[in-house]
A and B are shown apart, each in its own frame.
Chain A
Amino acid sequence: MSTSTDNNASITQESGPSAAVQDIQKKIVVRTADGEVFNLKEEVAMEIDIIKTFFQEDSISYETVMPLPNVEGWEMVKVIEYCTKHVELKHKVDGYKERKAFQALFVQNLSTKSLLALTNTANYLEVKYLLDFLCQAVSEQIKNKDVDYVRELFGVENDFNDEEYEQVKAEAPWAHENLNNDLH
């Protein structure tokens, strides 16, 4: 692993008063699939198990830039956003309302497809509480959708023939009524 030579990486120590500040705020650097580089505060980075394992268990120097080839830049932004908030709320006694408000905003402008992509990312990065939250959010959004919508969303092919499909559907036709297929 070579040290990043990007301008964004400010890991080299400088002498002078600013060095003290930098020492306190240790940063970890990651690079996503699209080449974007992110500086994470150490405490936030350690929320992400795959990063934690990489640097702590394998004792790799923080000067190394960790590649995340399965993660897109926009996804990293969202993950950092969520983990930063999580760390912030850890120190609060009663953060329930704040967490709920934050979570509502977090998913507000994301399509279900994007949420699903984030779910995959959270799974890859190993951030359990984010994964749990995203799974819950996705299931909320799809629970009243029909079978075609779900197939399209997940990119799943229908491998039933007509007869087989009708047979499964006939077990509980009431489950296929009163659905809401609004685009999300």
Chain B
Amino acid sequence: MQSGIAAAETVGHNEDLLKQLLLRLPARSLIRFKCVSKLWLSLISSPKFCESHTLQNPIPKFSSATTDATTWFISLLPNPNLNFIPDPQGLMILQSCNGLLLCTSPADKFTISRQFKFYVVNPTTSRFSEIALPPPSPTKPEPARLLSVALAFDPSKSLHYKLVCVSGSSTVSVHREIEIEIYSSETRTWRACKSAHMRFPTIGEFLPGVYCNGRIHWFSRFCWLVHYDIDEGHYGVVGLPGHDFSVERECICFGESGGRLHLIEMYGNGIGLNKLHVLEMGKDYSGWFVKGKRGTESSYCAAHR
């Protein structure tokens, strides 16, 4: 239909109308359509457009799974690779948060220290930022140990992200002096928060965090968790109710899904870990509620939604 063709061409060159169409496309299609023409490339790449698109398209949430300081995630993108980040040592993904990844390039899987570079990556746009941790304060009596670096990003609230860096005094107790520093991608600076004497769920190894509803959460293998409110600066500790040491339990996966914290645990009673249940943290950290159970052994599942 002749008029159809003419009209289609009009849309193609009518920037406002084209933008309305493009805003409704998923990220993968948009990235592909950057190749259509120079106009389309400039439209799609413009920061204003990216902002509008992020606000209009809720990013699918996929949780970060953490067990014993090894982390993995299941991506909803087909075959993302991080080759665009030049780092000879290779990257390890620590955490994912609403579409952004926190990565580092450690010398080995188990040693993560302050000297390492941390990257915040957007695998969809292949853009990343390299962030160095603030050096330990010279006034501190003993060198602080890096306990965690966690990413906080909520596009529904702000297009800027924060990094939370937790250091603590070297000790064999989980109760110790904790120092928290927060990096803002908006100001590109770190600020130190008041240090506190508190429990932190690791004795020395690096623990990734999980962001949910304005707080960072750290989960201990002994099944209690600490949550820290980034804006207000206060923290809380939540224990697993009915924690019975006679029941063997192992946390398979701890993450965020649909705005709530979830925990997938395997447990058993002497014979082996052969039951699985999914727990959800109640509002106001009232406690874990069982959402579902499975009686048979099952494989790891990290993407729950």
Contact = CB atoms under 8 A, between A and B. Distances in A.
Given A154-B9, A156-B12, A116 B4 contact: yes
Nearest to A171: B126
Nearest to B77: A174
Given A147-B32, A178-B78, A155 B12 contact: yes
A75 B1 CA distance: 12
Contacts of B117: none
Contact of A147 (B3, B35, B77): B35
Among B22, B40, B77, chain A packs the most CB atoms within 10 A around the CB of B40
Question: Interface residue tally of chain A, by bracket?
Answer: 35 or more
Contact of B8 (A117, A144, A168): A117
Nearest to A151: B36
Interface in A101-157: 111, 113-114, 116-117, 119-121, 123, 131, 135-136, 138-139, 142-144, 146-147, 150-151, 153-157
Contact of B31 (A139, A144, A172): A172
Contacts of A156: 9, 12-13, 36-37, 39-40
Q: Interface SS of chain B: helix, strand, loop or mixed?
A: helix
Nearest to A152: B8
A159 interface: yes
Given A135-B20, A159-B38, A116 B25 contact: no
A175 B33 CA distance: 9
A135 B34 contact: no
A96 interface: no
Given A72-B3, A113-B1, A175-B31, A157 B8 contact: no
Contacts of B32: 146-147, 172, 175-176
Contacts of A171: 31, 34, 84, 126
B187 interface: no
A160 B1 CA distance: 29
A150 B36 contact: yes
A165 B4 contact: no
A177 interface: yes
Nearest to B79: A174
Nearest to A148: B36
A136 B21 CA distance: 7
B9 A155 contact: yes
Q: Interface SS of chain A: helix, strand, loop or mixed?
A: helix
Given A116-B4, A155-B12, A172-B126, A143 B36 contact: no
B11 A154 contact: yes
B294 interface: no
Given A120-B11, A147-B32, A168-B34, A155 B5 contact: yes
B187 to A, nearest CB: 28
A169 interface: yes
A158 interface: yes
A159 B33 CA distance: 13
A123 B39 CA distance: 20
A178 B246 CA distance: 51
B240 interface: no
Contacts of B77: 174
B4 A117 contact: yes
Contacts of A135: 20-21, 24
B26 interface: yes
A102 to B, nearest CB: 20
A119 B21 contact: yes
Interface string B247-266: 00000000000000000000
Interface string A30-55: 00010000000000000000000000
18 contacts: A72-B3, A75-B3, A114-B4, A117-B7, A117-B8, A120-B8, A120-B11, A142-B25, A143-B26, A146-B32, A147-B36, A150-B36, A154-B9, A156-B37, A159-B37, A159-B38, A171-B31, A174-B77
* The 9 residue pairs across chains A and B that have the minimum distance between CB atoms: A154-B12, A155-B9, A117-B7, A139-B24, A175-B31, A175-B32, A116-B8, A143-B29, A120-B7
Interface of B: 1, 3-5, 7-14, 17, 20-22, 24-26, 28-29, 31-41, 77-81, 84, 126
